[in-house]
Amino acid sequence: MPTSEIRSIILAAGKGTRMKSSNPKVLHSIMGKTLLERVVNAALKVEDINKTYVIVGHQAQMVENLVKEKYADEVETVLQEPQLGTGDAVYKCYEKLKDFQGSVIVLYGDPPLIRTETIEKFINSHRTSKAVLTVMTAIVANPLNYGRIIRDEGGSILKIVEEKDATPSQKAIKEINAGIYCFDWQKIAPAFNELTPNNEQGELYLTDVIDWSVRKGMKTNAYVLEDSSEVFGINSQKQLARAAIKLKNRKLEELMDLGVTIIDPIMTWISPETEIGADSTIYPNCYIEGENFLGEKNIIGPNTYIKGNVETADNVKIVASVLSDTVIAENVTIGPFAHLRDNVNIAENVRIGNFVEVKKSDIADGSKAAHLSYIGDTKIGKNVNIGAGTITANYNSITKEKKQTIIEDNASIGSNSVLVAPVKIEKGAMVGALSVITQNIAENALAVTRAPMKIIKDWVLKFKK
């Protein structure tokens, strides 16, 4: 019995020769996510798709590792070895789908701008038209290197001709194969047994399945895409750069529509996976990649690099800094030139100033580290003042261990002090400037380790003699 179930097959086995890179093409990244992830994510969000296969081949292990790491069991990889073409790639699922009675949607791993809604609309059109096979097409100004859509006088699709096999008049056709297909698996599957490499590239073309189904008299449709930029496939470094610009511009426009101020859209990069609240302002030269959630009325930049997993509440200000894996509460100021990384939690009203690095640390309400510090593996309480130049010596280079520093509420650390972990500064305690702290300091105590100051009268005069 036919079912409405849909499985997707994503092709990621090709080398991507035109990238001139040692990495597989689909593993190139745009703003923190690989091309392949962008396609897989778009497909996984389609409700009706309940199983996804990724075809791997060139550097299969690398691609497989990514799929395992990001999707665990949600996505299955299938090996294509050797890589004989896009038709051969789909054929690798032949055995797995032997008894499958639903539809299959095939996508390539290289169009990172594809949207879930577009895939959904495409599936709907395939269903309502009752076609056996539907292929997505687009009208583009420059069809170079895409497969061209050949239609008959009545406008019905006949076949797809690849650039390398096209005659000059076919090359003039502006309707191209977008590279997304949906078909009734059982009806189309036999085609994969009949593909031949009779073409310029000597490959088994998936595109030849269209010609096959037309010849068999099966209902074959072309679905013309509205926004052709969505299926922009990446084949070269130049196209990778162009796709990145398209992707970020699309995001910036969405954010501006939601009330975010982008001072200079040309000089600003924000990943599609970043959310930003209304009335936030992004100054020029910010590069925000990966998944982030920034609140309302934030001021970010100029010159800030957010590398992912950063969450800010409202009214946070971050100037010229680098951040990753950090959660920041309301009314916090960061920078300029701060570096926050590897699981940092910052509570309300904290200030992290110039040249301060914070790694794997928690800082509670109202505390300040305003200048020139390294804070690592540290728990800082409320209203603590970290003087300029304070260093937490968290690393023992002999044992290679990292140890914790605890600084409790209202403590105050004098400038240029070194806190040798593990160590605890209790509530309200003070550390005198230039101290090296190797023992715990009790509540409200003062610790000073510097040598007493000497003043030697006329020393300079004696020295000169």
Task: Say whether residue 290 binds Ca ion (CB under 5 A).
Answer: no
Among 30, 104, 176, 276, the residue binding ligand UD1 under the rule CB under 6 A is 176
Question: Can you give the chain as a three-state secondary structure string?
Answer: CCCCCEEEEEEECCCCHHHCCCCCHHHCEECCEEHHHHHHHHHHCCCCEEEEEEEEECEHHHHHHHHHHHHCCCEEEEECCCCCCHHHHHHCCCCCCCCCCCEEEEEECCCCCCCHHHHHHHHHHHHHHCCCEEEEEEECCCCCCCCEEEECCCCCEEEEECHHHCCHHHHCCCEEEEEEEEEEHHHHCCHHHHCCCCCCCCCCCCCHHHHHHHHCCCCEEEEECCCHHHHCCCCCHHHHHHHHHHHHHHHHHHHHHCCCEECCHHHEEECCCEEECCCCEECCCEEECCCEEECCCCEECCCCEECCCEEECCCCEECCCEECCEEECCCCEECCCCEEECCEEECCCCEEEEEEEEECCEECCCCEEEEEEEEECEEECCCCEECCCCEEECEECCCCEECCEEECCCCEECCCCEEECCEEECCCCEECCCCEECCCECCCCEECCCCCCCCCCCHHHHHHC
Annotated catalytic residue 126: no
Task: Say whether residue 175 binds ligand UD1 (CB under 6 A).
Answer: no
Shortest-Cβ-distance residue relative to ligand UD1: 147
Question: What residues between 224 and 243 interact with Ca ion by CB under 5 A?
Answer: 233, 235
Would you say 70 or 360 has its CB closer to ligand UD1?
Answer: 70
Shortest-Cβ-distance residue relative to Ca ion: 233
Q: Residues in contact with ligand UD1, total (CB under 6 A)? A: 29
Stretch in the footprint of ligand UD1 (CB under 6 A) among 78-86, 125-133, 318-326, 377-385: 78-86
Stretch in the footprint of ligand UD1 (CB under 6 A) among 84-92, 211-219, 221-229, 407-415: 84-92
The answer to whether 33 and 273 have CB atoms below 8 angstroms apart is yes
Among 131, 135, 206, 316, the residue binding ligand UD1 under the rule CB under 6 A is 206
Would you say 109 or 353 has its CB closer to ligand UD1?
Answer: 109
Distance CA 181, CA 188 (A): 11
Residue 109-128 contact track with Ca ion, rule CB under 5 A, x = bound: -x------------------
Residue 136 partner contact from ligand UD1, Ca ion, none using kind-dependent CB cut-offs of 5 to 8 Å: none
Nearest approach, Cβ of residue 233 and Ca ion (Å): 4
Would you say 88 or 377 has its CB closer to ligand UD1?
Answer: 88
Stretch in the footprint of Ca ion (CB under 5 A) among 2-10, 105-113, 305-313, 455-463: 105-113
Among 53, 91, 122, 146, the residue binding ligand UD1 under the rule CB under 6 A is 146
Nearest approach, Cβ of residue 224 and ligand UD1 (Å): 14
Task: Say whether residue 143 binds ligand UD1 (CB under 6 A).
Answer: no
Among 89, 182, 210, 319, the residue binding ligand UD1 under the rule CB under 6 A is 89
Would you say 199 or 449 has its CB closer to ligand UD1?
Answer: 199
Task: Say whether residue 389 binds Ca ion (CB under 5 A).
Answer: no
Residues that bind ligand UD1 (CB under 6 A): 11-14, 26, 55, 57, 80, 83-86, 88-89, 108-110, 146-147, 160, 162, 176-177, 179, 205-207, 233, 235
Residues taking part in catalysis: 371
Residues that bind Ca ion (CB under 5 A): 110, 233, 235
